[in-house]
Amino acid sequence: MNRLTDRVAIVTGAASGIGRGTTLRLLAEGATVFAVDVNGQALEALHADDVVDAEAKARLHSQVIDISDERSVKEGVARIVESAGRLDILVNAAGILTAGHTHEFTLDAWNRIIQINLTGTFLMVRETLPLLLESAHGGRVVNFSSTSAFFAHPYMAAYSATKGAITSFTHSIALEYAGRGLRAVNIVPGGIESGITAATPGLLPADADYSLLAKLSAALKTDGGLGAPSDVAAVIATLVSDDGAFITGTEIRIDGGAHM
């Protein structure tokens, strides 16, 4: 399918995990994609990956941006605007997870996760909105919430707080700009192969009660018990295409039935 031919997209967190999978899917659907990440070397590896064919690579561009830093976002988006001249799609996949007992959580750790997950999402939306509102196709914003925003995930209070806030933020902009053609949706992943899920066991407290995590397991059985980034990317491709034309201000949960 080429549902995104002649569309220009930005994907944050594009060097790995769901962001990388989304970048590859949007390219496969015909979009021009600006892959954004704080890790420049990983972005270079994305360009070198054989999974991206020559035709798609011609539509793949990269931009190093620290989404938690206002100046970096302003300058990085300005460079993208100068290069592309327009924008149709923003996918905010970048984020971090920090876990621990809430009573032991430091203020620095709390502020860091808010700065990257929540403030980073806000900064990217704010800087790209003027272009998205000018899109001839109607601007599309996909933000990343989490099942932790709707269901209790122990030891992840700070992470959950940022994802709950992103959920509300997305609803607000969806209504505020609906009359100007913007659609905004939250992706709510759970149990997807990524750097975050791979690192989670090492982030949990040494005395963590793993029985509290039992309900996070997917009902659908897969190798390794997790979904693939491509499972999420396929949904995103639909949401930002014309096939998702009547979907906005809502959540799409992708967790293999873990929270039925």
Could you list the active site residues?
Answer: 159
Give the contacts of 80 (CB within 8 A, at least 6 positions apart): 10, 34, 61, 63, 87
Give the contacts of 214 (CB within 8 A, at least 6 positions apart): none
Give every strand in the sheet of 140-144, ordered side by side: 60-64, 32-37, 8-12, 89-92, 140-144, 183-189, 250-254
Contact by Cβ (8 Å): 85, 4: no
Which candidate, 88, 186, 72, 162, places its Cα nearest to that of 129? 88
Q: Using CA atoms, how far apart are residues 96 and 31, in angstroms rounded to an integer?
A: 26
Which candidate, 57, 15, 8, places its Cα nearest to that of 37? 15
Please list the residues that pair with 192 across neighbouring strands. Answer: 227
Distances (CA, A) of 147 to 70, 81, 152, 153, 162: 28, 33, 8, 8, 12
